[in-house]
Amino acid sequence: MIRSMTGFGEATTDVQGVHYAVEVRSINNKFYKASIRLPEELEGLEAEIDSRLRRRLTRGSITLKARLSDPTARAAYRINIEALQSYIERLGQLPHEVGHPVPIDVAGLIQLPGVLQPPSDFESRIEKAKPVIYDLLDSACDRLIEMRDREGAMLLEDLHRQYESIGARLERIAGRTQTVVEEYHHRLRARIESMLKDANIHVNEADLVREVAIYAERSDIAEEITRLKAHLCQFRDLVDGDGCEPVGRTLDFLAQELLREANTIASKSNDAQISRDIVEIKGAIDRIKEQVQNVE
């Protein structure tokens, strides 16, 4: 099954006055790479969230953002008065020690370790948030995968066009190979006879056949055509298969092998028609290589 690596999904809900939101984005990557951004109170869930993402998405650069908004008074952090008083007393002694006044920034005091304390029910609020966040994660992934499937369908259409074009031109090349040798035989005979005509010397048929055989062996592309057809057949099976396993990496490898065989054919053949078909085949393979970079 062809599925794109590009997608987006989000899900939101309100539970007991608390607003929860999860957003998941993905773009191309050879491997799985996740960036998870959570509010401070949910940071302890990062490992489990990453594990759940891995079960749903196997390739791509994944960015997940979760938000939690609680407008009620119960979400407010408590101020540790004893810790704050201790800092103020210590700061009050600094002017005598350094010899000049030291300004006190209230906002800075609040950020000092131990001054702000989480709500008394902090742990229970996290436990309540877990199932909500996990459900939203699943819903966001469902929507992202739906988008990946839609883009995958468009990729599939283009891949069909490319490998069908390659197959048609490959059949034409295969039918041309024997004709190329025969045409070379006739051209070589005509050239030699033209050169030896004035000298009244006849062509040695055995030498001519030997030269044609050498040319046929040097320009033989039957093996490359067979391998190219086999790779193309495997490519088609993967593209049209209904399995759930990702096939992007395998398609990328096969595209490289297709190009390798096409380059070998191009280097061996001196026929203009075959060369034109190979140029078109290589163009189609380049298009395939470009497209499979976005296949999961």
Q: CA nearest 291: which of 163, 132, 203, 178?
A: 163
Q: Which residue has the higher pLDDT, 226 or 89?
A: 226
CB 136, CB 20: distance < 8 Å: yes
* H-assigned helices in 197-271: 205-218, 222-240, 248-268
Q: Which residue has the higher pLDDT, 257 or 206?
A: 257
Kindly tell me if the per-residue pLDDT of 263 is higher than 80. yes
Which amino acid, 190? A
Angle between helices 272-292 and 248-268 (to 10 degrees): 160
pTM over 0.85: no
Residue ranges of domains in the chain, CATH in brackets: 7-74+123-149 (3.30.230), 78-117 (no CATH)
User: In this predicted structure, what is the pLDDT of residue 51?
Assistant: 94
Kindly tell me if the per-residue pLDDT of 21 is higher than 80. yes
Which pLDDT band holds residue 176 (cuts at 50, 70, 90)? confident
Between the alpha carbon of residue 45 and those of residues 9, 66, 76, the distances in Å are: 20, 11, 21
